[in-house]
Amino acid sequence: MIADSKLAKYFAPRELDLRDWDVMTGIPPDSFCRLNPEVCDPVSAGLVNEQEVLQYFKLYFKIRHPSVGILDPDLHTAEYVHGCSFTLFSVICALGCELSISHRDILLAPLLYNMAERNIKWSILNSVKTVEIIQAIIMFTFWSHAAQNYADDPSWLRFGHALSIARELKINDSLFIQKKVNNFNASNRNIYAGIRDRQVRNYERTWIFVFLMDKSFGITIGRAPCVSWREMQPDLYAWARATGSAAGDLAITGIVQLRINLLQALEKLFGMHKTLSSIAEWDRSASSRLEELKGTSYSRQDGTQLESMFAAVFTFEVNHGLLLIRNNTYKHLVKLNASQDKINNVLHEIFNISCEIIRLFVHDARLSSLASGYHNTPFVMISHAATEVIRSFKCPAISQDAQEQASTLIRNLAEHFGRIANKLPSTSWASLYLEYSLFLVRKLENIPCVASRGSQGTLDHHTGQNYNKISISLDDEPQSSSNAWDFNGAAFFEMGNSLWQDNSASFLGVDSGQGSLFGGTGM
């Protein structure tokens, strides 16, 4: 009977989207996979109270959400999320707590982070397949702490699991989603009534972020993309404008369209016969398509415009897309032995775009207010821009005044990274890119026209002091071995040059037919 019972249970049909709550209660008490319901989330474990949870949710949606708008603030209240998934609930609490400046929350943040990570691992181990688990993995991966070594970063494994769940749940199939939501509501498991449309959009938005994350991973961890732009619904603009859309949906749509335009442009580039005239025409066409996105009137059906905060994030993304186009133009002009004047003109454009990206990142008040909530991808983009600025100094078309202004921007960038890093744990990505930005500041010493323009003060991001009280001297030797410092910074700099000059398409999923630093051929 026992054998028959086990066989019957093993081969019995099972709902795909059982909540983590349901899976937890169904695990036998003596199983090593058992998770105690009394310690499965911060509230149940007695670590935080309801008021603190509300504060964490508020911080998350205010600071982190504008750069990764995978959730709907009107749907994903603390009560709703807790009822749907203790895993997603734990992740939001952890990510919100890290942004708090209270002494108690600073001490509590590592505990909540570890709890969220444990819950994600538990959900993966027990094959929990829900849209909330996909969201939890994506959010936690975007804002995960930096691994000690690039090769040890486990994010790609977790995202691969999230992608597999997304395909199994068929969240890219609108008709299937609507049927799923109707069944979900009919079972009376939802907390609120009248939220069907938001639930449907919740699935659709999550699939969009699966696509975005798949493309972002080419930048951050160099894994081959798996989701084609052809798997996106055909009219994203109409989807974003629909009644009931979330605040960030318009920006999400714009960013997806940006990635699609880039993918199509790079596909065309690698498949065409390359001459000086064809490259010039490709550059003009690809750039104009991206510039048009800036001028698109992103508004909902009720006339509501794209919020200023999301508009700033979108502009930053478009500018980086333009930089990628110019990188490819430069590379092919060099291969085709174009005149030095043409090459210098493109280098000048690269320089100007890169400076604008840094200026927006450092000095735009809207983006500055989100600085503590940035994930890794914008940091990679800004490091790319800074690398291009330094590399462009060799171009004779760039005046000495422009170079001096750019060197000031690089120093401002290092200071900005210092402010961000001081608000976050020492394992944050901001701390990693702070070191790289300081390396770029030291590179300025080798440029005669800017070597004398030193800055005062050093960014000791390892201290817990207020940033303004930190003693700074960017020209000082770092406390660690200067040889190690120079080697690590130089390696990163050379990696950046290799990536952006020779392989800037591979991370977007375009096969250039050549060796790739961040290899990837999946479309």
Judged by average pLDDT, the poorest of 39-43, 70-74, 231-235, 390-394 is 231-235
**DSSP one-letter string for 42-107:** TTTTTSS-HHHHHHHHHHIIIIIGGGS--S-TTT--HHHHHHH-HHHHHHHHHHHHTT--SHHHHH
pLDDT at 396: 87
CA distance 348 to 350: 5
The 3-class SS string of 276-317 reads HHHHHHHHHHHHHHHHHHHHCCCECCCCCECCHHHHHHHHHH
The 8-class DSSP code of residue 474 comes to T
Mean pLDDT, range 112-128, rounded to an integer = 94
Local structure of 473: helix, strand or coil: strand
Per-residue pLDDT reduced to its tens digit, 218-266: 555 666 667 877 788 777 878 888 877 887 888 888 888 888 899 899 9
Mean pLDDT confidence for 464-474: 34
| DSSP one-letter code for 481 | -
pLDDT of residue 223: 65
CB 201 within 8 A of CB 362: no
Assess whether pLDDT exceeds 90 at residue 473: no
Alpha-carbon distances of 226 from 136, 216, 429, rounded to whole Å: 20, 12, 25
| Integer Cα distance of 521 and 225 in angstroms | 7
- In the chain, the N- to C-terminal Cα span, in Å, equals 50
What is each CA distance from 392 to 206, 239, 345, 385, 497, in whole angstroms?
39, 41, 11, 10, 11
- CB-count burial class (<10 Å; 0-12, 13-18, 19+) for 399: exposed
pLDDT attached to residue 513? 36
427-440 pLDDT tens trace = 888 898 999 999 99
What integer is the mean pLDDT of 47-62?
Answer: 96
| pTM for this entry | 0.81
Q: Mean pLDDT throughout 293-298?
A: 67
Residue 16 pLDDT: 65
How far, in Å, CA of 255 to CA of 455, rounded? 36
Lowest mean pLDDT of 429-438, 445-454, 474-483, 497-506, name the range. 474-483
Structure tokens at 334: 């060099």
Whether the Cβ atoms of residue 474 and residue 411 lie closer than 8 Å to each other: yes
Q: 4 pLDDT band (50/70/90 cuts)?
A: low
**pLDDT tens readout for residues 362-385:** 999 888 888 888 888 888 899 999
Q: What is the mean pLDDT of the chain?
A: 80
| DSSP H helical ranges for 76-233 | 78-84, 86-97, 103-125, 131-142, 155-169, 174-186, 196-220
Cα 302 versus chain centre, distance = 30
213 residue type, one letter: M
Contacts of 437 (CB under 8 A, 6+ apart): 383, 386, 410, 413, 414, 417
Query: What pLDDT digit, counting tens, does each position of 141-189 carry?
Result: 889 888 887 777 788 888 889 999 999 999 988 888 887 777 766 655 5
Contact between 200 and 188 under an 8 Å Cβ cutoff? The reply is no
- Long-range pairs, 262-267, Cβ under 8 A, ≥24: 262/286, 262/290, 262/321, 262/324, 262/325, 262/508, 263/229, 263/508, 263/509, 263/510, 263/523, 264/229, 265/289, 265/325, 266/328, 266/505, 266/508, 266/510, 267/510, 267/523
Q: What per-residue confidence (pLDDT) applies to 451? A: 56
Q: CA dist 328 to 255, 264, 349, Å?
A: 20, 14, 12
> Mind listing the pLDDT tens digit for each residue in 441-461?
988 877 765 655 544 444 443
From residue 216, alpha-carbon distances to 88, 224, 314, 376 in Å are 21, 11, 15, 9
In the prediction, which pLDDT does 58 show? 97
Mean pLDDT of 341-352: 94
For residue 11, what are its two tokens?
Answer: 């081969």
Whole-angstrom distance, CA of residue 289 vs CA of residue 295: 10
- Res. 464: pLDDT tops 50: no
d(Cα 377, Cα 214) in Å, to the nearest integer?
12
- Let me know: does 170 contact 176? Beta carbons within 8 Å: yes
Instruction: Give the pLDDT confidence score for residue 189 in this predicted structure.
Output: 54
Cα torsion 190, 191, 197, 202: sign: negative
The Cα–Cα gap between 490 and 439 comes to: 8
Q: What is the pLDDT of residues 23-32, one digit of tens each?
A: 998 888 888 7
pLDDT confidence of residue 247: 76
Give the tens place of pLDDT for each residue, 305-345: 556 777 788 889 999 999 999 999 999 999 999 999 999 99
Confidence of residue 515 (pLDDT cuts 50, 70, 90): very low
Angle between helices 376-392 and 429-443 (to 10 degrees): 0
pLDDT number for residue 311:
79
Mean pLDDT of 466-484: 34
Instruction: Kindly tell me if the per-residue pLDDT of 82 is higher than 70.
Output: yes
